[in-house]
Each structure stands twice: as structure tokens, then as C-alpha cells.
Structure 1
Amino acid sequence: MSTVQNNTVSPSLLASMNPAAAATQSTAAAAQDTFMKLLVTQMKNQDPLNPLDNAQVTSQLAQLSTVTGIDKMNTTLQSLMGSYQSSQTLQAAGMIGHGVLVAGSSLNLNNGQAPFGIDLATSADDVKVTIKDASGRAIHSMDLGSQQAGMLALQWDGTTDSGAAAANGQYSFTVSATQGGQNVSANGLAFGQVASVASSGQGVVLNVPGLGPVNLADIRQIL
């Protein structure tokens, strides 16, 4: 009678039973089938004077059950993620043609209209916006006075501090805010219009001309 000296499943025994299967198995179901075959083989060839330890067999079965459960859970999660992303894509498609605000400091002036926004972490008693041209020179300032915390959609009509009308094109802006003389966190929000929607491994991405690809999660406000 042949004797199995080691009571654990060895790689060599796996290869001797079915080399092709051992090299290609990648699913929990195949691993479970192989494990049971190996366990039966061990039990048939066990040394009567040194039988398999029940606790060890139970432990191996528990480990196999855990691996199988994790594999099934991963499959379920992948299916849920796929369904969730498909749902997000359909919802995002409804944003095509709509304006959105995302974190940024760019401005696009077109025929006297340049929408943008700001985001205040807390209320401020003095909020100012400074608009700059392509060279970084300040050409217009907006004194917004006291503002509550949150997002605020704004628009520049293209008029400079000198009263002249700025040319169409790209500009930038900065925002500063204080409360009782202390600086308050204030962030700029750039405006863009959604042209198309795409789904990728990174999630749902919106194509916003002038701003580039924007993740759905980065949209701060829909206008």
C-alpha cells in the first residue's frame, strides 16, 4: 500500500493527477473540484497507523469554503459595479448640452458672456474676484461683498476696469475671501458645456470642450 506522508495537499500531487488542469485552473469551482479529488486520494492512501488529522481536514475545508465565498462575492460585486456604471452613463447622457461647473480657474468670454462660479467653505463678509488676461495681468475686479457658504454661480460681461470691452477668448480668475479680517477658503469653479459622455475603466467621463475630460464625480453644479 502506498503511503502519503504529508497530510496537506501538495503541488506535486496536484500536477501528477492532472497536469493540464493544474496549469490552467483559475476558478473557485475548478479549485474546489481538484481539492475534493486530492482529499479523496489522500484518504484512500493514508497510512492506517498515521491517519489524516480531522482538525487539519476541517481547517482545509474551511479555507476552501472561504476562498469560494470570496470568489463569488467578487463576481457579484463586479456585476453590481457594471450595472451601477451603466446606470451612471444613462443619467450622465441627460447632461449633454447642459452647462456644468467644475473646480478650475479658467474663463471663456464669448460675446459678452463668461459664466463661472466660486465655492466658499464658510460664510465671508468680503469676497473679491480678479479677472486676468492671457498674460496674467489683472483687467477687472468684482467686489461681491458678503456671501454665504457654498457655491455661487457668476458671470462676467467682458467689461474691464477701464470700461472697455474685452475681446472674446480665454481668461483666468482668482477669488479671495475674508471673514473678520481672516482669510476664508475660496475656490474657483470653471464653466463648460457637456458635449458627450463616455464610459471607461475609470468610470463615467464627460467631454467638456475647453475643460477636457471631466469625471462625473467632479461635477460641482449643473446649470
Structure 2
Amino acid sequence: MTTNTTIGGSTATVSQQLLDTMNGTSTASSSSSTSGTSANDLQTTFLQLLVTQLQNQDPTDPMDSSQMTSQLAQIDTVSGIGQLNTSLSSLSTQLSAGQNAQAALLIGSTVLAPGSSFAVAAASSGSGDATAQIGVSLPAAASDVKLTITNSAGQVVNTIDLGAQSAGTVPVSWTPTDATGAVLPAGTYTVSAAATTNGQAATATALVASQVTGVVQQTGGAAGLQLANGKTVALSNVAGIE
């Protein structure tokens, strides 16, 4: 129940809630049941307190207007931040929906994404004309880049020297042959990437091509692509679309 208190000898009254707020004596239970903590609630309470203070101020010692202006500005800032958070949340939801729609369009497409394992198909007529789509991603330019290919037994079958490369995605269409030029049999192979810049090791990420078979929602709402090679990659990690 809300009670009113008369201030001084005047007829002005102040609710018990405002008095408790002014004196800092309101309890947690009364605060939760009679007042809110949002920016709008704080602004309403402040304006009620302000009007009450103005009505009962000492004419010979009026309130400091600069403090009132500062307090109002602080409340407006809190209110603005709350509205901004709401807008950003709405924008994030819209972006996630757009990403999911974009990812769905990739189903059935072949994408180049971080990975190591890839399949080699049998070359027709033993001519070695089958190709494997692999590559490397470089965050910065490198003076020398190499891709190392190993078979399912862990044996190195070939090394591809790409030389100097600029930053970005470097796709490679590789004919599956060993170091002597002999055609490699069909099977599963592994690629690893290494880069150097002025003799110092640099960052390089191997890429392999695989078909998109589905779309899933990852932690945080981001879209993830399910690939035919059994991997799931974030849409943002796709380096190329074939």
C-alpha cells in the first residue's frame, strides 16, 4: 500500500515510495514489486523526485541546475543505450536469417574450405586426366608456398611448389601424379600447407574441395555447411565456390 507524507508546513505530499528512493531505504522486495529498473522507470522516478524537490526547495537556496542537467543527460544516455541494444539485437537476427538463406543456396555446390583429406578419382584410360581441387589460404604474402601430398599410408607422394604468392586464396587444380609423374591410384589423400617469408615460417592453411550436402545452425546462430567429406565448416570460412 502506498502512503503519502506531508513535507514541512506546506500541503505538498510525497509518496512513501519516493521518500524511500530519496533516502535509500527501500527494500529489495518493495523495489521489485513497486518500481522497475529500466531506463524509462528511472526517468519517471527521477522526474517525480525533481518536481517534488522544486515544489519544496528553499527560495533562498535553490537547487543547482547544472546537477539536474547532468542527471537528466545520464538518464538519456542509459535510455539510448537500451534502444541501441534492441536495434543491434534485431539487426543480428536479420543477418543470421540472411546467412541461413545464403547458405541454403550452396547445397549441391562444391566449395573450397579449410581441410586436409580429399578423394582422388581413378583417371580415365590411365591418362592421369583426373584432377583434384585443393589450395591454400594465406593471411599475408609469402615468398614461398608448398603443398605436401601424402597417401593413406602416410607416405609423401608429391610436393607442389607454388613459389611466391600474395595474400588470399590460392586454388590449385592438381593432376594426381607422384614426384616421377606416374599416375596415382584412386583413394583418399591428405594435403598440408607450409609457407615462408624471408626464410621465416609463415601461416598457411590447406584447402580442399567438397560438395555441400546440408546446412546447420551453429553455436551463436551462425550458419554452418555440412560437406560430403564429413566436415562442417562455418559459412564465413568458405574460401571459394566452384
TM-score range for the pair, normalised by the shorter chain length: 0.7 to 0.9
Aligned counterpart in structure 2 of residue 20 of structure 1, from 20, 24, 33:
33
Pair 1:139 & 2:157 matched: yes
Return the offset for 1:42.
3.7
Distance, in Å, in 2 between the alignment partners of 1:190 and 1:183 is 25
Pair 1:73 & 2:81 matched: no
Pair 1:215 & 2:234 matched: yes
Normalising by the residue count of structure 2, what TM-score does the alignment of the two structures yield?
0.68
Pair 1:204 & 2:215 matched: no
Distance, in Å, in 2 between the alignment partners of 1:58 and 1:14 is 28
Letter in 1 for 2:214: S
Between Structure 1 and Structure 2, how many residues are aligned?
Answer: 215
Distance, in Å, in 2 between the alignment partners of 1:193 and 1:9 is 66
After superposition, where does 1:36-47 map in structure 2 within 5 Å? 36-46=47-57
Distance, in Å, in 2 between the alignment partners of 1:17 and 1:38 is 18
The equivalent residue for 2:113 is: 102
Deviations 1:103-153 (A, max 9, x none): 3333233445532112454475x7543211345321233455x56535332
Distance, in Å, in 2 between the alignment partners of 1:18 and 1:177 is 62
Aligned counterpart in structure 1 of residue 97 of structure 2, from 86, 90, 112:
86
Distance, in Å, in 2 between the alignment partners of 1:99 and 1:71 is 43
Distance, in Å, in 2 between the alignment partners of 1:102 and 1:154 is 13
Pair 1:166 & 2:150 matched: no
Deviations 1:5-51 (A, max 9, x none): x9x955435979865133xx253223322322333344445556654
Letter in 1 for 2:235: L
After superposition, where does 1:110-129 map in structure 2 within 5 Å? 110-111=121-122, 114-119=132-137, 121-122=140-141, 128-129=146-147
Return the offset for 1:79.
1.7
Distance, in Å, in 2 between the alignment partners of 1:16 and 1:40 is 26
Distance, in Å, in 1 between the alignment partners of 2:228 and 2:52 is 65
Unaligned segments of structure 2, at least 5 residues = 1-5, 9-13, 124-130
Pair 1:191 & 2:209 matched: yes
Larger Rg: 2
Answer yes or no: is the 8 Å Cα contact 2:142–2:165 preserved in 1: yes
Distance, in Å, in 1 between the alignment partners of 2:38 and 2:141 is 53
RMSD over aligned Cα, in angstroms?
3.7
Return the offset for 1:84.
2.2
Are the structure 2 counterparts of residues 84 and 19 from structure 1 closer, same or farther at C-alpha, using a change threshold of 3 Å?
closer
Return the offset for 1:67.
0.9
Return the offset for 1:221.
1.0
Are the structure 2 counterparts of residues 215 and 19 from structure 1 closer, same or farther at C-alpha, using a change threshold of 3 Å?
closer
Are the structure 2 counterparts of residues 143 and 48 from structure 1 closer, same or farther at C-alpha, using a change threshold of 3 Å?
closer
SS at match of 1:195: strand
Distance, in Å, in 2 between the alignment partners of 1:116 and 1:10 is 71
